[in-house]
Structure 1
Amino acid sequence: MKHKLPIRIIILILLLVLVWLTQLLPAMGTFYANSIYPVVSWCLSGFSNLFPFAIGDLFIFLSITGIIVYPIYGRIKKQPWKKILLRDTEYLAWVYVWFYLAWGLNYSQPNFYQRAEVPYTAYTPENFNKFVDDYITRLNDSYIPIKSINNDLLRDEAVRIYTRISDSLGVHRPVHLAPRVKTMMFTPFISMVGVTGSMGPFFCEFTLNGDLLPPQYPATYTHELAHLLGITSEAEANFYAYQVCTRSTVPEIRFSGYFSILGHVLANARALMTEEEYEQLFNRIRPEVMDLARNNQEYWMAKYSPLVGSIQDWIYDLYLKGNKIESGRKNYSEVIGLLISYNIYKDAHERRKNGSLRTLPGHTR
């Protein structure tokens, strides 16, 4: 008699085909992001919110442990290698399907420019210098010493502002009014690789490094919340975190937003400006802000392991490139391009709006 495939294997194959089709067909990726993911997110994050710890971190740890330990157990029980490898492979396939159906298929959605209908604007010395000039002014003006963060206030502000910008900036509204942020289960190790937060795709929960400093906390919180709202691009998550924090009326949250992109601004400036221009820009930044940036860098470098960190960077770079983020880890700094394009679009929109008002009765052109 011919062996029949178990029902679970047939279901697994069908789900794999569904994942691959969604990745290949843009219309399916858009449908998943707009119609399926909000429901999945509501269910999984609602379940995750019942637990005070990061169940996604625990799931990943137990999965890795099981994959390593099971072959040893199988050989002790005299199981053939073929059976052991097939079971490990099947388990990994189920994890792969779960990852993409629970969150990962958001990589197949349209990008920010398409969702928000904002035209892409290429860098020019003029628009970059205009952006940087305005940014440094706002950064300096927003500076405030931050000793602590009111987490409840931050949560309420993040939910309020994400809800307000969702329609115009192409991001989902929070599905829960009180999203529950978790602390990373393995914070000391996570600090060694230089990661400040993460999105737990298996249970739609977002986690933050327990070593985070107060000035970094609001921007990192809103960055990871953007991932929970279906944003996969690191540049876009930085963009939304900046938009949410800098629109807040809470001074600590607002400064964190401006401060969060300082490193990206300086990196872009060094690549695009002459030494003299860069030095002039650098000298415009408030000494208190630069002292804070240096102290933060020293704080994290004391915890960082170059060996472990470089391995994690390499793996994450491959992961991003394998999920349609062609620039890999460089994607983080592309937030500056998003901000420049959005600012130019916003300015043009305001000019058109004011021009229309001047043509109304009672106004002269």
Structure 2
Amino acid sequence: MKRKTTLVLALLLPLQIILIKILSAYPLFIEKWYSNFLYPEISSIMRISLGIAPFSLGDLLYGFLVILLIRWIVIRIKERFRNPRKWLIEAFASLSIIYACFNLFWGYNYYRLPLHRSLEIENEYTTEKLITLTKSLIARSNQIHAELAENDSVKIEIPYNTRQLFDKTIEGYESVSTEFPELAYSGESLKSSLYSMPLSYMGFNGYLNPLTNEAQVNTYIVPYKIPTTASHELGHQLGFAKENEANFIACLVTMNHPDPYFRYSGFTFALRYCLHELYRRDKALSEELIATMNPGILANYREVEEFWVAHKNPFEPMFQIIYNRYLIVNNQSEGLRSYSYVVALLVNYFEDVENEF
């Protein structure tokens, strides 16, 4: 009986892959029946039940799975990989269970409608609109920086501890949920990753554990980056699986936050995206606009860069290649480059906001 069950589970793996391929062609169906019907219930149950633990259960689960994998490899080596039919079926059966849980608990969100359609925002823009927004973001960033700093050359230090940063992240979602009901958040499950140090050397700010629905933040990073990182991970938790969309949501939440430190983090985060895109289109103009920024803002940018340079290691490119491939497999055809979609959402969001006045 056990062998038959294992065989059935193994055979279900390719069938699941075929099902995903079929469903990916029907984003409206995924949006309606999974992302807005089934997933909110699954996510809420997991956040409420697992969020009460003060530490990351998902990180412990990952550690346990890694130990099992190492044990499995050691056993295979000792057996000199004899009887491959048996252990291959067992391996595919295990992968089938994990793949099913990944998709059911969160992964189907990769195939929902694009964010600009669900929020009714355009996704096309001109260079002139990009320039206008970049200038506006510089003005807003300079203004907030002047309110928080003693002079324009001082970098901003976030005066909150990790718990306060997490609580204020939740407040940010409460602030925008009136205008965007899709971002209503309840049942907190936002945690510091137990693997923050390894994540730093791998080049990651945080992640959502799809098996436990816990939003994990690398709290080793520069505190200035935690508001946007935590907001990004909660965006994932609400079902916005694509990285570019979660980044836009992080901008949206932090730029509209009642706390000025969060607004500073958000506006300078959005500004960096726009400057990067403008640099690609018009290097001279981007450098001209950068010269109008408060030096303290650039000091915050350098602080972040210095952190990642200090944590560089020979294996980081490998991690980035693996993650880039993961994005491509999960319906983000441009991989890491798809992050530029954030700029399109920002340009059109601000244009819509200005048109309301």
Does the alignment reach a TM-score above 0.5?
yes
How far is 1:5 from its partner? 3.9
Conserved 8 A contact 1:163-1:173: yes
Q: Secondary structure at the match of 2:182?
A: coil
Mapped partners of 2:180, 2:174: distance in 1: 10
Mapped partners of 1:264, 1:25: distance in 2: 31
Q: How does 1:149-298 map to 2 (within 5 A)?
A: 149-151=160-162, 153-166=164-177, 168-169=179-180, 171-176=182-187, 179-275=188-284, 277-298=285-306
Mapped partners of 1:267, 1:222: distance in 2: 21
CA RMSD, 1 decimal: 2.7
Mapped partners of 2:11, 2:34: distance in 1: 19
Mapped partners of 2:250, 2:63: distance in 1: 29
- Do structure 1's residue 22 and structure 2's residue 30 form an aligned pair? no
2:315 maps to amino acid: V
Q: How does 1:69-148 map to 2 (within 5 A)?
A: 69-74=71-76, 76=78, 80-122=83-125, 124-143=126-145, 144=148, 145-148=156-159
Tell me the number of residue pairs that the alignment of Structure 1 and Structure 2 aligns: 344
Q: Secondary structure at the match of 1:171?
A: helix
Q: How does 1:308-327 map to 2 (within 5 A)?
A: 308-327=315-334
Q: For structure 2, which runs of at least 5 residues remain unmatched after alignment?
A: 149-155
- Do structure 1's residue 9 and structure 2's residue 16 form an aligned pair? no
- Which is worse superposed, 98-107 or 53-62? 53-62
- Which is worse superposed, 91-100 or 338-347? 338-347
Conserved 8 A contact 1:71-1:84: no
- Which is worse superposed, 215-224 or 57-66? 57-66
Change (3 A) 1:293 1:82: same
Deviations along 1:314-359, whole A, 9 cap, x unmatched? 11111111111122111223211110011223333x16xxxxxxxx
Change (3 A) 1:81 1:72: farther
Conserved 8 A contact 2:176-2:183: no
Q: Secondary structure at the match of 1:6?
A: helix
Please identify the structure whose Cα radius of gyration is greater.
1
Percent of pairs with identical residues: 25
User: 2:307 matched to which residue of 1?
Assistant: 299
Change (3 A) 1:40 1:297: same
Conserved 8 A contact 1:142-1:255: yes
Conserved 8 A contact 1:181-1:205: yes
User: 1:61 matched to which residue of 2?
Assistant: 63
1:97 maps to amino acid: A
User: 1:357 matched to which residue of 2?
Assistant: none
Identify which of structures 1 and 2 has the higher relative contact order when contacts are C-alpha pairs closer than 8 Å and 6+ apart.
2
1:300 maps to amino acid: W
Q: For structure 1, which runs of at least 5 residues remain unmatched after alignment?
A: 352-365
Q: Secondary structure at the match of 1:206?
A: strand
Deviations along 1:189-211, whole A, 9 cap, x unmatched? 21112111111111000111131
Change (3 A) 1:115 1:298: same
1:162 maps to amino acid: Y
Mapped partners of 2:227, 2:25: distance in 1: 36
Mapped partners of 1:11, 1:70: distance in 2: 17
Conserved 8 A contact 1:149-1:252: no
Deviations along 1:198-237, whole A, 9 cap, x unmatched? 1111100011113122211111111111111111122211
Q: Secondary structure at the match of 1:52?
A: coil
How far is 1:182 from its partner? 1.8
> Normalising by structure 2, what TM-score?
0.87
- Which one of 344, 347, 360 corresponds to residue 354 of structure 2? 347
Mapped partners of 2:283, 2:225: distance in 1: 30
Mapped partners of 1:313, 1:4: distance in 2: 38
Mapped partners of 2:162, 2:230: distance in 1: 10
Mapped partners of 1:88, 1:71: distance in 2: 11
Mapped partners of 1:107, 1:269: distance in 2: 28
Mapped partners of 2:221, 2:77: distance in 1: 43
